[in-house]
Amino acid sequence: MPALVLLVFTLFYSLLAATPQVAQHVLTDRLDRLAPHGKVKVEIRADPPIRALGGEIDKVGIDITHGVIGGVPVDNLALATGKVSYDTIALLFHKQLELTAPLDASGSVDLSDAGLTRLLALPEIQGQLRDLPIPGNFMPGFGAQPSIDLEPRKVTLSDDGTVRLSGLVSVPDIGLVLPFEASAKLVLLDAEHITIFAPEVDILGNRLRTGQLLGHIQLPVFDLATMVPGVRMHLDELDITKGELHVQGHATLAYLPKLPPAVQKLLP
């Protein structure tokens, strides 16, 4: 999310001209704007503080309650890093944050139905739901199997852990657009893999049986270890309770993404 990326770069850029305590206040002020009705807590620790000028800080901690990050409502967000080592020359002269050693971080996030609905509406997510292939024999009568576009519009979380999704499914090749409803349970196979269990799909009020789905569509397995280049993610918890999705885990970052020129201009 561009807003969160910009805040991270602003934090380290501020450390070039200020003590960790001052940078902590600057970041807190900016985060306060994302959570005008919530709470923000920021901790930046470097002992002694002058180490920050040399590209080392001991810890960064961020806690946000009832904020909006990149347009997505977040009930709770907690991030914490271990020692951070970065190249001050690259940051000062090129406005790029380059790690000089792998970075270990942990975090957790709580998202409501509204937060997940907004998350699925992000262009980055929508782009992954276009031109999805349909396996052979799922739509008999077509010589070449057409692709489909999914447009999720609403997410509902049930207390039993079921995720319900409604929206539109379209087949651009034939100009067909249909409403759909789907439900499934998210399952954490292990620390690096997530899949879905007991899927059900209704199109125009007709329910596709689980056997039909499993016979033609391979259920996805999301590999967190390879999802983001340079980032090794591990999940410790994945729960849905009281209408909220709670995710907790940790990651090791080998490097950080390059900051686009348009965002560089927004830095101090």
HSE-CB of 236 using CA atoms within 13 angstroms: 8
Q: What is the pLDDT of residue 111?
A: 92
> In 3-state terms, what secondary structure has residue 175?
coil
Q: How many helices (H) and strands (E) does the chain have?
A: 8, 15
Encode pLDDT of 192-208 as tens digits.
888 878 788 888 777 76
Where do the structural domains in the chain lie, given as residue ranges? 2-110+251-264, 118-138+146-225
Q: Which of 86-90, 97-101, 141-145, 219-223 has the lowest mean pLDDT?
A: 141-145
User: Who contacts 246 (Cβ-Cβ below 8 Å, separation ≥6)?
Assistant: 108, 109, 110, 237, 238, 239, 240
DSSP E strands, 54-102: 56-57, 59-69, 72-81, 84-85
Encode pLDDT of 205-256 as tens digits.
777 655 545 444 555 677 777 767 778 889 999 999 888 999 999 999 887 7
What mean pLDDT is predicted for residues 22-30?
Answer: 80
| Most confident option among 72-81, 124-133, 227-236 | 72-81
- pLDDT at residue 260 tops 80: no
Q: Please provide residue 56's backbone torsions phi and psi, each rounded to the nearest 5 degrees.
A: -140, 135
Instruction: Give whole-number Cα distances, 217 to 172, 203, 210, in Å.
Output: 19, 16, 10
Contact present, 99 and 55 (Cβ < 8 Å): no
Q: What is the pLDDT of residue 2?
A: 53
Question: Quick one: what percent of the chain has pLDDT higher than 70?
Answer: 79
